[in-house]
A and B are shown apart, each in its own frame.
Chain A
Amino acid sequence: MADASIIPAAVTGMFDLLSPFGPGWGANLLRGLVRSLQIAFGAFGMGLIIGTFGAYAKLYGGPIARDLAAIYTTLVRAIPELVMIILLYYAGTDLINRVLEGMGYQRVDISGLAAGIVVLGFVQGAYATEVLRGAIKAIPQGEVEAARAYGMSPILMMRRITLPAMLPHALPGLANLWLISTKDTALLAVVGFSELTLETRQAAGTTKAYMTFYLAAGALYLFITLFSNVILEFVEKRARRGMPSVKEAR
C-alpha cells in the first residue's frame, strides 16, 4: 500500500508543478513556447526573403551581387551559430547604438524579440539561399524559356512561373530549415532571451524538478515538430500538384 501511494503523489506533484495556474510553472513554459514560435516564424520568414534575393543574386546577378552573396553564404555557414548569435546580438546592438549616438540620437533598447529574429533570420538566409538556388536550377529550362517567349517581364515570370515551379524542389530543404529554426531559438537563451529553454531552466533551477521540466520542454518541442510535419505535408502535396508521384515513375 505504501508503495502504491508514492507514485500517485509524485505524479500529482508533477502536475502541480506544470500547472498553468497558481504556484505551477506551466504558464512560464507556455509563454516561453509562444516567444520561441514568434522568433522561429520571424527568422524563417526573414530567411526566406534573404534567401530569395540571395539565390537570384547568385544565379542571375552581376559580378558584384554574385560575390556579395558568395561572401555572405560562406561566412555565415562557416561560423558556428552560437558564435554568430553572440556576435550579432551584442556587437549588433552596440553598433546600432553607436551609430545612433553618432548621429545625435538617444540610445535605444533593442527588444530581445526583434534582435532574436534578425540574428536567426540572418543565419537562416544563408542556408535558404542555397536551398532556393538549387530548387530554381531544378526547374526545366523550357518552362522558363516559354515564359520569356510569351513576353513575361522578369518580375511576372518570377511570380507566376519560377517561384511556383521551384517550390516542390525547395520544400524538403525549407522544411528542414523551419525545424532547425524552431530549435535554434533555444540558442537565444545564452543572450538572456526568455524563450522556452531559458524559462525551463529557471523553473527547473528554482524547483529542483529538473527531470519534470526538461521532459516537458522536450515534449513541447516534439509537439511543434509533429504539428509542423502535418502542415508541411499538406503544403508539399499542394506544391507538387501536377507532378506524378515518385512511386508511379519507379
Chain B
Amino acid sequence: MMATEAVAVSTDPLQPAVTEQAEAIHVSNLHKRFGALEVLKGVSLTARDGDVVALIGGSGSGKSTFLRCINFLENPTSGVIRINGEEIKMISDGHGGQYPANRRQIERIRSRLGMVFQNFNLWQHMTLIQNVIEVPVHVLGMRRDEAMAIGEQLLERVGLSAKRDVYPAYMSGGQQQRGAIARALAIQPRVMLFDEPTSALDPELVGEVLKVIGDLAKEGRTMLLVTHEMKFAREVASHVMYLHNGIVEEEGTPDELFGSPKSERLKQFIRTVS
C-alpha cells in the first residue's frame, strides 16, 4: 500500500485510477533542523487516497514536527513534498534552510488539508457554527447559506447540533475537539492531519473523539494521525510508522508493527505505552 517510489498519477478526474489509488501526499527525504538540533533526519512517506497512516513514537521523536512540515507550519530544512501531485516550490534562505517560494501556493494547499490540533485551537470569538463555516466562506469563497447547510450537517455528524450557537469556551474539551473535526471536514479536505487529537483531553472524553475519528477512517477518508493511542492506531490505521530520533525506525501494517515488532526499541516502546 505504501509505495516509496514515485508513481505517475493522473490528475484528470475523468480518468479513474485503474490499479492503485491516486497519491494524496508524497514526502521524500524530509529534514528539519532547529538551530543545531536536527529533529527530522530524512523521513519519507506516500499516502494514497483512503490510506490511514498512523505516526507513533516517543516524545521528541519528531512525529509532530513531521506532520507540521506537511502543511508548512514548519518549514522543512530540505526534502520534497508533493500534495495532490503538486510539488511545493522552495527557495533557499542562504543559511542552509529554505522557505516556500510562493505564499499563494502554500495557502491553496493548506486550504485542502484539514488540520486537527492537540489543543483544538477553535477561534474563541466565534460560535461553533461560525468556526465551521469560516474557512469555506472566507478562504474557499463558498456561499454563506451553502456553507451553513454543510456546516449543520457536519455538526450533526459529530453530535454537536445542540451546540451550534455556543462559544468554544463554554464547551468541554471533547466537544471542542469534535467541533474542530467538523471545522476540518467543512473544507472537504483531501487529507486530514491529526496532531495528537486526544492528548489534551480528560480520559473520560477521549472515547467520544476517537469514535468520530474511527468513523471517518471507516468511510475511507485519507488521514495522517499522530497519536499516543496505540490500541486505536492498531484498529484504524492501514499503515503505521514508528519514529525514533527523527528517522523511521520501523514501518508496516499495524499487525506487523504491533504483532511482531522487529527492532528492540519498538518492542520496548510498545511495552511502555501499553
Contacts and interface: CB of A to CB of B under 8 A. Distances in A.
Interface of A: 140, 142-143, 145-153, 156, 160-161, 164-165, 167-168, 239, 241-244
B115 A242 contact: no
Contacts of B103: 153
A149 B74 CA distance: 10
A120 B123 CA distance: 35
A244 B168 CA distance: 10
Contact of B121 (A142, A151, A168, A244): A142
25 contacts: A142-B117, A143-B121, A145-B121, A146-B115, A146-B117, A146-B123, A147-B123, A149-B73, A149-B113, A151-B107, A151-B111, A151-B135, A152-B107, A152-B139, A153-B103, A160-B134, A165-B123, A165-B124, A168-B125, A242-B125, A242-B127, A242-B167, A242-B168, A243-B124, A243-B169
B138 interface: yes
Nearest to B140: A151
Interface of B: 71, 73, 103-104, 106-111, 113, 115, 117, 119-127, 134-135, 138-139, 167-170, 187
Nearest to B186: A150
Which 10 pairs from chain A and chain B are nearest by CB? A151-B111, A242-B167, A142-B121, A151-B110, A146-B121, A151-B107, A149-B115, A150-B135, A164-B125, A242-B125
Contacts of A243: 124, 167, 169
B136 to A, nearest CB: 10
Contact of B125 (A148, A165, A244): A165
B53 to A, nearest CB: 18
A164 B131 CA distance: 13
Contact of A149 (B110, B134, B138): B110
B21 to A, nearest CB: 24
Contacts of A156: 138-139
Contact of A143 (B107, B109, B123): B123
A149 B71 contact: yes
A140 B168 CA distance: 13
A165 B121 CA distance: 12
Contact of B124 (A140, A145, A147): A140
Contact of A242 (B113, B135, B169): B169
